[in-house]
Structure 1
Amino acid sequence: MTDSQTEARVPANRVSGIGRLLIAVYGVLALAATGRSFVQIVAAFDDAPLAYSLSALAAVVYIVATVALIKRSALWYRIAWTTISFELLGVLVVGTLSLIDPALFQHKTVWSVFGQGYGFVPLVLPLLGMWWLARHPVSHDESHA
């Protein structure tokens, strides 16, 4: 097999440009949310179990979304859509509840006040992620990668 035939069979890398930046931001947010939730749970879980559990859930969502954005299969593409949709729902629900009933979230989570503690990145990121996924669907070649 010639080099050109091999290149033709290797799927194009759809993780370039803005996709790489998006993955990097998801990765940083995954690390930040994981670190925050770990410290919250270890240091003071009994003070705010709901808030700290939500921080841990957000961390898991960011980790899975990061991996799903990197992978190129149809399964991982669906997982990316699912996790990013769940993330947006979480940000909207927790953000709204934290404004309507601040007593529920006296201790901050990643998604409190729509991610205010993270510069509203948790609110904007899933929208960018959905836009990017819609613009970069899995091709037939990639679905077998």
Structure 2
Amino acid sequence: MAPPEVPTGTGPGRIVVAVYAVLALAATGRSILQITSYFERAPLAYVLSALAALIYLVATLALAKGGQSGARVATWAILVEAAGVLTVGTLSFVAPDLFPDKTLWSHYGSGYGYLPLVLPFVGLWWIHRARRAGGEQTPGR
């Protein structure tokens, strides 16, 4: 018997995928500009911007793919994303010298309307909901 389908990229999930795709493009563009033009100003911040872009890209593709493996990869990417935005967001306040220029995750994504802070939790909620809709049993149920 095949494992149940996890429809993460269908229905309302298309909006989640689209938002991830937009942030992937925004982070990619910003990191390329920062790395090629101002790298010496804040190398750690700009490398983390590029890492954020990669994480958003992986989450976008995995959510769009769906299925068991897509949901699993998306979950891990989104957990890394959540840890990144919380860590960088906190560091940008307590050690502002590490982040002299804004990045996607600095100040918890304030330059992007705090979307980077909220999105990982929306993404994890959506994966959980899609798993239940696809018939996968959640532990403890």
State the TM-score bracket (shorter-chain normalisation): 0.7 to 0.9
* Distance of aligned partners of 1:61 and 1:13 in 2 relative to their CA distance in 1, 3 Å threshold: closer
User: Deviation of residue 83 (structure 1)?
Assistant: 0.3
Summarize the alignment of residues 1-145 of structure 1 with structure 2, pairs less than 5 Å apart.
14-137=8-131, 139=134
Partners of 1:130 and 1:16 lie apart in 2 by 15
Query: Alpha-carbon deviation of 1:121?
Result: 0.5
Query: Gaps (5+ residues) in structure 1?
Result: 1-10, 141-145
Distance 1:113 1:33 in 2: 15
Count of aligned positions: 131
- SS state at 2:131 partner: coil
- Structure ranking higher on relative contact order (CA contacts 8 Å, 6+ apart): 2
Corresponding position of 2:139: none
Superposed CA RMSD: 1.9
Q: TM-score, normalised to structure 1's length? A: 0.84
**Bigger radius of gyration:** 1
Go from structure 1 to structure 2 and tell me whether the alpha carbon gap of 1:17 and 1:76 turns closer, same or farther (over 3 Å shift). closer
**Cα displacement (A) at 1:12:** 8.8
What residue identity is the alignment partner of 1:28? V
Q: Deviation per CA, 1:102-139, whole angstroms, max 9, x where unpaired? A: 11111221100000111101001001000000111184
Q: Determine what percentage of the aligned residue pairs are the same residue.
A: 53
| Structure 2: 5+ residue stretches without partners | 136-141
Q: Distance in 1 between matches of 2:115 and 2:14?
A: 16
TM value normalised by structure 2: 0.86
